[in-house]
Amino acid sequence: MRLDDLAARVGARVSGDGATAVSHVATLENAGSGAITFLANSRYRSKLATTRAAAVIVAPEEATSTPLPKLIDKNPYATFAKVAAILHPIKRPAPAIHRTAQIDATAYVAHTASIGAYAVIGAQATIGERAVVGAHCVVGESVALGDDVVLYPGAILYPRTVVGARSTIHGGAVIGADGFGMAEEDGRWIRIPQIGRVVIGADVEVGANTTIDRGAIDDTIIGDDVKLDNQIQIGHNCVIGSHTAIAGCVGIAGSTRIGRNCRIGGAAMISGHLEIADGTTIAGATTVYDSIREPATYSGVFPMLVYGEWKRVAAHVRRLRVLFERVRALERKRTDNDRA
């Protein structure tokens, strides 16, 4: 594809030979003939000087850093994402229903949808236009899949789950399983029926082996354009605001409400019944015990140290409460002396 054609499609400005042909994307180090690459971090500017790419994507302030033909945009990483999607489109299967698929007679499957081998579609389910249900997927009773939804092989959607248009559910994900609701009586646990649903908005991505529990009474809700990485656990009755991105191995306990445009780093743990303000960033491996009312970047991870030093610092941290009480006692004594 010509560079100027790409520019028109992604809204970037061309500098240099717009007729330059590019066929694929590559890193600065490994780019060769026909490749287009990008510079989004000035730390890698030295690699820009030696790249063998046919063209590059840069920010305006980096436009003079290379003589190569280029696309210029204030957000080169986002432009790269758009270019990569154009040059490497996802291949979708042709509309068809595999002969081994099991589809209940009361289900509706659009004529433009694709249903893979051994997929199971339950009663009253609805499969939208151009939707793809991969091999061995289970789509439960009364599930609704919007137009252009993609379920990768092995995804499981429990009954009454709703998935909005253009959303993607990767393999091994389980959507709508029972929430962990138990009541204790005389030392034994009584299961609380989980009668809510999972409602997923449009343009959502759910990573491989991620689990989203259905609500106990109300619904678990995932807003539009939420991006969930692999192996995330979202408990019952949670609400995840639109445009929030959550990295792998995060655990979110039940009835927590996370705002819009939040970013949560990998392996963060969030307790239940909390509220996280719009625009909050939580660093990886941070444990959140209390609600966050003001948007900011929060981190609860102690910096990495050599093990012996870490043990010494940890010992001091454990003594902080005692030291605090001693300082407070000294302040009180000084105040009493001043009054005397």
Both tokens of residue 249? 């191995």
Q: CB–CB of 150/130 below 8 Å?
A: no
Q: Note the helical H segments in 192-281.
A: none
Which of 98, 136, 170, 236 does the annotation list as catalytic? 236
DSSP H/E element including 331: helix 320-339
CA-closest candidate to residue 245, choices 302, 189, 284: 284
Burial 277-297 (b: 16+ CB within 10 A, else e): bebbbbbebbebeeebeeeee
Both tokens of residue 253? 């306990």
Q: How many CB atoms lie within 10 A of CB 237?
A: 25
Q: Which residues contact 136 (CB under 8 A, 6 or more apart)?
A: 116, 117, 118, 119, 153, 154
Q: Note the helical H segments in 176-298.
A: none
Is 236 a catalytic site residue? yes
Q: CB–CB of 98/114 below 8 Å?
A: no
CA-closest candidate to residue 157, choices 176, 142, 171: 176
Catalytic residues: 236
